[in-house]
Structures are given as structure tokens and as C-alpha cells.
Amino acid sequence: MAQAAIELIGINKSFGAVRANRDINLEVARGTIHGIVGENGAGKSTLMSILYGFYQADSGEIRVGGKPVSINSSNDAIALGIGMVHQHFMLVDNFTVLENVILGAENDALLKSSIAKARSELERLEREYGLEVDPDAIIEELPVGLQQRVEILKALYRGAEILILDEPTGVLTPAEADHLFRILKQLKEQGKTVVLITHKLREIMAITDTVSVMRQGTMVATRVTKETTVGELAELMVGRRVLLRVEKGQSEAGAIKLSVRNLTVKDSRGVTMVDDVSFDVRGGEIVGIAGVAGNGQSELLEAISGIRHAVSGEVMLEGKPVDLTGKADPGELRDRGLAHVPEDRHHVGLVLAFEENENSILGYHDDERYLKGPFLKVDVIMADARDKIEKYDIRPGNPRLKTANFSGGNQQKIVLAREMEQDPGVLIVGQPTRGVDVGAIEFIHKRLIAMRDQGKAVLVVSVELDEIRSLSDRILVMFAGRIVGERGPDATEGELGLLMAGVEHQEAAE
Amino acid sequence: MSTPYAKLPAWADYGLIPLINLSVAFIVAGFVVMLVGENPFRAAVILVEGAFGKGTGIAFTLFYATTFIFTGLSVAVAAHCSLFNIGTEGQAYIGGLGIALVCLSFDSVLPWWAIFPMAIVAAAAFGALWGFIPAYLQAKRGSHIVITTIMFNFIAASVMVYLLVGPLKPAGSQAPQTRNFLAGAELPKLNWIIELFGAKIRSAPLNICFLLALVMAFLVWLLIWRTKLGYEMRTYGHSPKAARYAGISETRIILTAMMISGALAGMMALNPVMGDQHNVAIDFVSGAGYVGIAVALMGRLHPVGIVLAAILFGMLYQGGAELAFEMPAISRDMIVIIQGLVILFAGALEHMFRPYIQALFASFSPKSVGMQAVNGKGA
């Protein structure tokens, strides 16, 4: 086996009493791609933050290239040849690629020689790794995939030998992700070491040489990728067997419950985000909208749920029109049987500072069940919250606990419980399982299918193709604000991927 | 990444940490006292004895505290709706105008118990009006409430100067104030309560407004945590997007919260105007509105905390006055410095010692800081 690029020995890290990392041992061989998988909160990001100098371990040793080192800041990490590509890019939007690359590595006041040096260096990197990007392009005008490439270039420009990527494919189309993987393989061939943090097991199988699984702050296993399976990894992550694809029967589509006609939505800058979109959702079916994040799905959901102003078009809920002026009362739509699980549960669907029971009535706090005159019926609200906690297996089962202290999956269950228990006719769900761990995904999918089987109309928007394919009876693909195709649940990933990337669209335009 | 701080048990959060902050403030103040050549321990004794040593001192302390309870509650109500109402000062000032109009009209014909309710309504209504205008500008025009409420303090001051040197001033008087109210508009004192405990009181302005302040503190608690309106205010305060999602009207909630806040500020004026001076004089609020900001922050926006913080500031006012009298080297300005240090450590630097205390707790008793968070935290 090749010499280890990184060795972590007995790493411990606690935040207060929360032990984010417990006695972690990890060895990453030079010139390999090493995957780290685990549920949210398993401690992956904490471990990498220790390696990159954001946090200091409480105890344990880090060795880089066989030598014990102490990494107290990201500067130390860079000096040791460790580069990191964050999940959320750390780029200055209105700078050029070149300016972003030299940011923090400028070494003359007028930048003249820095820029010249960077330009020739970038050309070399492009040649060697196939990392083409126009050095004079402005970041905000580049697609996400290219922005990520700039992040990688930044790390390489600083001499990174070890590259850490934190959830790199979350924002990419399948095609962009493939391209990224080709780049990573090229880096590997040139002798660089790559650490890939992800919760997408498919990616792990496709690209890594070895993989480590984390669970609740501990490193539970390390496997050679070729010798393991997705099923085994999932089981290691969760600690029990998981269904990766929920069983469901044939749908029995009934009457049209939600109908969208020629809907057009613009954002605050006047850019068209939803462009002449029409579709129907019938009772007893799940319609999934696939697409890369930022192609108008969020705006579509907000317009339908009456939160966002639509420029033109019509939305009919159970045969009656929805006020699209953006001044609609979401409370009135709830009364008419529209339940909405928003994409952003942290800022929209929940108030994180509230106790769990307070969130269990958000949006339904006008309901006379919970009120006596101007006063809240605290005991009724509490009983109601306990009831939902039991039905949806929300943990920990304490309605007085602050919502921020629940895990992502349990927070999502709080929202789902609230919306589903109102027995709505139409349920629209944005990103049902974003940031939710594998065990809870299974539960949430089962619940959504149960809603469908009760004859509700369910509209699901998700950037996870697997999820869309597993849940939907019909799949609509959104690209650049338009619905560019409709497919059945048996559509292949490649087919959907092409639609999501707007390939057909572009060809037509050329 | 979730917050790197674990939770503390409630008693540490609400008791220990404020106490530590306060102690540090007094230690630093002690150094300042040393700097001017006085003995800090003797100064501390004079301060505390001045505030609580004698019946009169206690009565004065509680009189000041009454004022600060009202302004503290005012700031807190707006803050729960994430509105930073700096206009408590001006709202209280204009509230005084409402009281003046009621008292000057009826003090010759009605007894205090008939005038008092009218004065409460007038004070609240005038204060609410002064809160309403900035709120309307915020809700409808997007003008920032911090800027507009500061400006409205100046407008209030100008309006009151005009009225107190003009229309409201008795002819021939040289003082910029209304005529003194007749006995009908004087509120009963509460000094007898302190005398029940055996203390003697010469003359102190503590009056029934103190009880009104305690009632309002309870009503504010009820409003914030037990009513639909309070729920909506808190929702908007934590997340305007969640409020929109929940069907809570932004305009309505901003207007309502600011009017309640203004009403509480306006009611503050009852205490000095009807309880003590029996007239409305220029600048009678004298910064109590700004102290209210510190009181609300220190009291963690909770009525119980606000009452306690108000008593603390009442103590600093009363004890500070004694201190300036007893120790000539310590001027009135020194007292302001001490108050400033309390605001600095208990308000602005509230979280300075928190991480250390949390680390301490975590090493002694991991359970006390909430081990259940393990599953949900980290990432």
C-alpha cells in the first residue's frame, strides 16, 4: 500500500457535552480517492474542519506525509498542502476568476506580478487537469459547475496535494457531476490525494478507492470500495437495514385537484423564474418535479402556495382560483385544503427558536381548536403536539424542547406531521428529505405514499433524482423556468439527466 | 454547522451568568473609584445602603424602578417582534402630554380614582400614536424603525418644548412647565407598605404606579406567551418568512406591536407626572427610555427579568445619588460611568463569559448541558 498522505490518530472533539468526534482513526493513502460517508450529524464535517484548521481537536494526533503536525488555522493547512472545497462556495461573486484565485495569495500592492504569475499558473493547471475556465470571466456569470472548478483551482494554485471536497455534487447536474469525477480521477493520476465527503452512496461507489463510514461521531468501518455494496454502506451508516426504494402500488388517479395554467413568475430583479408553466395534479397521484436547484422550482411552489406574486397565469385549487397577486392569505388557502411543506424548513417552515409544540401549530394557530378568545389553549396544543410526536415518531419526544435541538430529519417530521394531520386535499412538498438522514427518508417517503393512497393530490419538488424516481407516478422536468418534459416513473436516470441539463432545449435553439 | 455552544441549565442561564456579568461590572467600577482616589468598598457600602438601607431609600429605589419597568416592557414587546424601538423616550414624553391634558381638564372636578383611569388611557393612547407613525412608515414604506424612532424622539422633544413654553405654560410663569395639578390629580403614595415593615419614611415619591407596573408586567407575559397575538409577534420576530408562510400579515403585526410598545412607554409618564412632580415639565423623561433598552436586554426580554433589572437600575439611580452626595470626589458623571459599565457588561457583552461557563459545566456534569443533543448536532 502506498504511503499515507493523512493519518488521524485518536481524534476527539466535543462541543460542550456533544461529542462530535470520538476516538477517530483514519488513514488516507497518497494518490487515492477516499470517501467519507455518514448521516447528517455523524461528525464528517467536524472531522474535516479539524483537518483544515477551523477547529482544534481536544486530543489526538494528525500526521501529514508521516510527520506529526499541528494545524491551528487554515493557513497552516494550506502550508501543509491541504486544500478544501466547501459545500457553499467561498468566492467573491463580482470578482473575475483570476481575482478570486489570487485572493489571499496576493503579494504585491499593485497586483501586477501576482496577476501575471497567476495567469500562467492557471494555464498550466488547465493543461494538466483539464480544468478549463476563462480566467477573466466574472464569477456570478458562471454556472455552478464552473464556480466549483474555480474553487478547485484556488486550492491547486496554493499548492494543494490533498484536496478535501465537502458534498461537492449537491448543486450539480448529473452531467456536471460526471465531469467533476473525471477531473478528480485526473488529479488522482497526477498523484494528488482526494477526500470526498458525501451522503450519496452512488457517488462513493462510482469514484472512490476506499470508503470510511461515520456514525454518531465514531468511525464505524473502512472498506475497499470494490469489495462493498451500497446496501452494506447504508446499513453501516444507519446501524440497521434500510429500504433504499419504498414499495408502492399502482396509483389510482382521480379528479384534478390542482391545476396550473400558463404560470409565469418573476423574481425581484425582474428575471423570469417560472416561464409559462402548465400542469395538473390529480387526487391519488404523486407528481414529481425534477430539476437542478435554481431552475424555478422554488418560485413555482411559492406562487402556488400564495406566498409569491405571479405575473400571469392561473392556479385552480379544487376547481377554484388561487389569488396570485402575492397578497393571498396562506391561512385561507389552508382552509381550502392546501398544505405546504416548504423547501426551507429552517426559515420558513419552522421557527427554530420556538418550542416543538409551538411549531406544531404554525400556520394553523388561527384554528379555533387552539384558541379561547385571544388566548392560546396551551394544554390542547401540548396534547396535540404529543399526539403528533407519537404518530410520526419524532425524537426526542419532548414537545417543550427547542426546535433547533432536533435533528434535520426530526425537524422535517415536525413540519410533515403538522401539514399532513390537517388532512389536506392537496399537499405540496419542497425537498422532502433535504438534510434528512437515511432512516428518516424511508419514513417520509412511506408517509407521502400513504397520502397518495388516501386519494390526496401530492406535488413533490426535489433535486434528488433518486427520490423523484422512487416517489413519483409522473415526473416533470424543469429547466430554466420551463417544464421541458414529462416522463413516467420508469424513465432512466440518463434520460432525466439530459432533460435537467436542458440538452434537448439547447439543441433546439442552435 | 450548528452552534458550538451547548445548552446551560436554566438557573445558570438566567441567574448565574447575569450575576457574573454584574459582578465584573462592579469590579471594574471599583477600579474606576480607586482611580479617583476613593475606597471602592466604602463606595459600594454607601451605594447599597443608600438604595436599600433606609425606608426612604427603598421607596426611591422602587420609584425609579417603576419608571424603568414601563420603559423596559415597552422595549421588550417591540423586541419580541424584532423591532428595535429606540423611541421609548419620545413615546413616554408624548404620553406625558396626554396625561397633562386629562389632569389639567379634570383635576378641579374629579377625584384621583376617576382621573387615574382616564390618564392611563390618555397616556397609552398618546404613546401608541407616537409609536404608530414610525411603525406605519416601516410597514408600508420600509423606513427603518431605528432611524425613524430616533427622529421621533427629537420631534417629540421639539413639540413638547413648543407646548411647554407656549400653550401649556401658565401666563406669567417663567418655568417651562404646566401649572401644578390640584390634589385631584395626585396619586396615592405607597410608602405605608414599606412602613409596615417598620422602616421610617420622610418623603418619597413611591406611588401606586408601582403596582400598575407590576400588573403590566404580568399582562405583557400573558400577551407574549399566552395569546395568539403574542405568538404571531414572536413568529414574525424570529422569522418574517415563517410569518408570511403562516399567513401572518406583516403590516398588521408591526403596527400592533409598536402601538403596544408605545402605549407602555406612554404609561411610564404616569409615574413621575402624577405620582411625583404633579406637573409636566420640560425633559421630565430624562433618559429613562434609553435605560429601558438596557433593562429589557438585561432582563432577557422577560417580564420577571425586566422587573429585577429595573430594580437594579433603580438602585443605581438612588444609591448613586447618595454616593455623589457622600463622596465629593465621585461626581454625578461617575455614577453614569458605573451605570454604563453595568449596561456594557450585562447588555452588550452579555455572552462574553458564556463559553467558559459552558466548558466548566460540561467538564463537571455533562448531563446538565443536554446530552440528548448528540444525535441532532454536529454535522
Is residue A408 in a domain?
no
Is residue B379 in a domain?
no
Whether residues A156 and A281 share a domain: the answer is: no
Taking the C-alpha atoms of residue A458 and residue A253, their distance in angstroms, rounded to an integer, is 11
Q: Assign residue B85 the CATH number of its domain.
A: 1.10.3470
CB within 8 Å: A17 and B375: no
Taking the C-alpha atoms of residue A333 and residue A428, their distance in angstroms, rounded to an integer, is 12
Average confidence (pLDDT) over A169-186: 83
A chain contacts of residue B232, beta-carbon cutoff 8 Å: 365
Is residue B262 in a domain?
yes
Separation in Å, CA of A35 to nearest CA in chain B: 16
CB within 8 Å: B247 and A330: yes
| Residue B379 near chain A (CB below 8 Å) | yes
- Domain extent for B168: 60-324
Between vectors from CA A342 to CA A336 and to CA A343, what angle results, nearest 5°?
155
Is residue B222 in a domain?
yes
Is residue B78 in a domain?
yes
CB within 8 Å: A365 and B242: no
Q: Could you tell me the pLDDT band of residue A243, with boundaries at 50, 70 and 90?
A: low
Q: C-alpha grid cell for residue B127?
A: 404613546
Whether residues A233 and A263 share a domain: the answer is: no
- Whether residue A23 contacts residue A10, with contact meaning beta carbons closer than 8 Å, is answered with yes
Separation in Å, CA of B147 to nearest CA in chain A: 25
Separation in Å, CA of A360 to nearest CA in chain B: 12
Q: Which letter does DSSP use for residue B274 in this model?
A: I
Q: Each residue of A445-473: pLDDT tens digit?
A: 999 999 999 999 999 999 888 889 889 99
Whether residues A225 and A293 share a domain: the answer is: no
Domain end: A238, A271, A292, which one? A238
Whether residues A142 and A214 share a domain: the answer is: yes
Radius of gyration of chain A (CA): 24
Q: Each residue of A95-121: pLDDT tens digit?
A: 989 888 888 777 777 777 778 888 888
**Cα torsion angle, B368, B369, B370, B375, sign:** negative
Number of other residues whose CB lies within 10 A of the CB of residue B9: 15
Taking the C-alpha atoms of residue A62 and residue A52, their distance in angstroms, rounded to an integer, is 11
CB within 8 Å: A17 and B6: yes
Beta carbons within 8 Å of A509's beta carbon, 6+ residues apart: none
Per DSSP (E only), the strands in A56-199 are: 59-64, 67-69, 82-85, 162-166, 193-198
Winning range, highest mean pLDDT, from A150-154, A382-386, B37-41: A382-386
Whether residues A139 and A51 share a domain: the answer is: yes
Q: Give the containing element (helix H, strand E) for A321.
A: strand A320-321
Is residue B113 in a domain?
yes
Give the pLDDT of residue B5.
45
Taking the C-alpha atoms of residue B177 and residue B254, their distance in angstroms, rounded to an integer, is 34
Whether residues A233 and A262 share a domain: the answer is: no
Q: How many domains does chain A have?
A: 2
Give the pLDDT of residue A2.
55
| Mean pLDDT score across all residues of chain A | 87
| Residue A307 near chain B (CB below 8 Å) | yes
Tracing cell 423523484 back to the chain, one arrives at: A468
Taking the C-alpha atoms of residue B244 and residue B239, their distance in angstroms, rounded to an integer, is 9
Is residue A138 in a domain?
yes
Is residue A31 in a domain?
yes
Whether residues A163 and A268 share a domain: the answer is: no
Give the pLDDT of residue B375.
38
Nearest 10 degrees: Cα torsion A371, A372, A376, A380: -70
Domain end: A185, A204, A238, which one? A238
Give the pLDDT of residue B1.
33
Is residue A66 in a domain?
yes
Whether residues A154 and A210 share a domain: the answer is: yes
- Residue at B99: amino acid letter: I
Is residue A462 in a domain?
yes
Taking the C-alpha atoms of residue B62 and residue A115, their distance in angstroms, rounded to an integer, is 68
Is residue B210 in a domain?
yes
Taking the C-alpha atoms of residue B11 and residue B20, their distance in angstroms, rounded to an integer, is 13
The parts of chain B modelled with pLDDT lower than 70 are: 1-7, 347, 362, 365-379
Whether residues A460 and A503 share a domain: the answer is: yes
A chain contacts of residue B369, beta-carbon cutoff 8 Å: 16-17
Whether residues A202 and A312 share a domain: the answer is: no
Portion 40-79 of A in contact with B at CB < 8 A: 40-46, 49
Q: How far is CA A441 from CA A404, A435, B80, B344, in A?
A: 19, 10, 35, 47
Give the pLDDT of residue A242.
63
- Residue at A8: amino acid letter: L
Separation in Å, CA of B265 to nearest CA in chain A: 23
pLDDT of A301 higher than 80: yes
Give the pLDDT of residue A16.
67
Q: Assign residue A474 the CATH number of its domain.
A: 3.40.50.300
Taking the C-alpha atoms of residue B164 and residue B185, their distance in angstroms, rounded to an integer, is 19
Is residue A98 in a domain?
yes
pLDDT of A396 higher than 80: yes
Is residue B294 in a domain?
yes
- Domain extent for A488: 256-350+422-509
Higher pLDDT: B336 or A259? It is A259
Q: Could you tell me the pLDDT band of residue A248, with boundaries at 50, 70 and 90?
A: confident
Number of other residues whose CB lies within 10 A of the CB of residue B362: 20
| Residue B358 near chain A (CB below 8 Å) | yes
- Whether residue B246 contacts residue B238, with contact meaning beta carbons closer than 8 Å, is answered with no
Q: Each residue of B49-81: pLDDT tens digit?
A: 999 888 889 999 999 999 999 999 999 999 999
Q: Give A200-223 as a 3 state SS string.
A: CHHHHHHHCCEEEEEECCEEEEEE
Taking the C-alpha atoms of residue A196 and residue A165, their distance in angstroms, rounded to an integer, is 5
Of residues B316, B285, B288, B310, the one with CA closest to residue B297: B310
Whether residues A211 and A323 share a domain: the answer is: no
Taking the C-alpha atoms of residue B106 and residue B118, their distance in angstroms, rounded to an integer, is 10
Q: Which of A353, A365, A396 sits opposite B372 (nearest CB)?
A: A396
Nearest-Cα residue of chain B relative to residue A403: B376
Q: Each residue of A479-495: pLDDT tens digit?
A: 889 999 999 988 887 88
Query: String of b and e for A164-196 (b: at least 16 CB within 10 Å)?
Result: bbbbbbbbbbbbbbebbbebbeebbeeebbbbb
Is residue A378 in a domain?
no
Is residue A391 in a domain?
no
Q: How many domains does chain B have?
A: 1
| Residue B231 near chain A (CB below 8 Å) | yes
Q: Which of B229, B234, B378 sits opposite A374 (nearest CB)?
A: B229
Distance of CA A495 to the CA centre of its chain: 22
* Global confidence as pTM: 0.79
Q: C-alpha grid cell for residue B362?
A: 460540561
Whether residues A219 and A268 share a domain: the answer is: no
Average confidence (pLDDT) over A364-384: 93
Separation in Å, CA of A126 to nearest CA in chain B: 33
B chain contacts of residue A378, beta-carbon cutoff 8 Å: 226
Pair type for strands A4-15 and A320-321: unpaired
Q: Which of B229, B238, B376 sits opposite A41 (nearest CB)?
A: B376
| Residue B357 near chain A (CB below 8 Å) | no
Give the pLDDT of residue B371.
40
Separation in Å, CA of B241 to nearest CA in chain A: 5
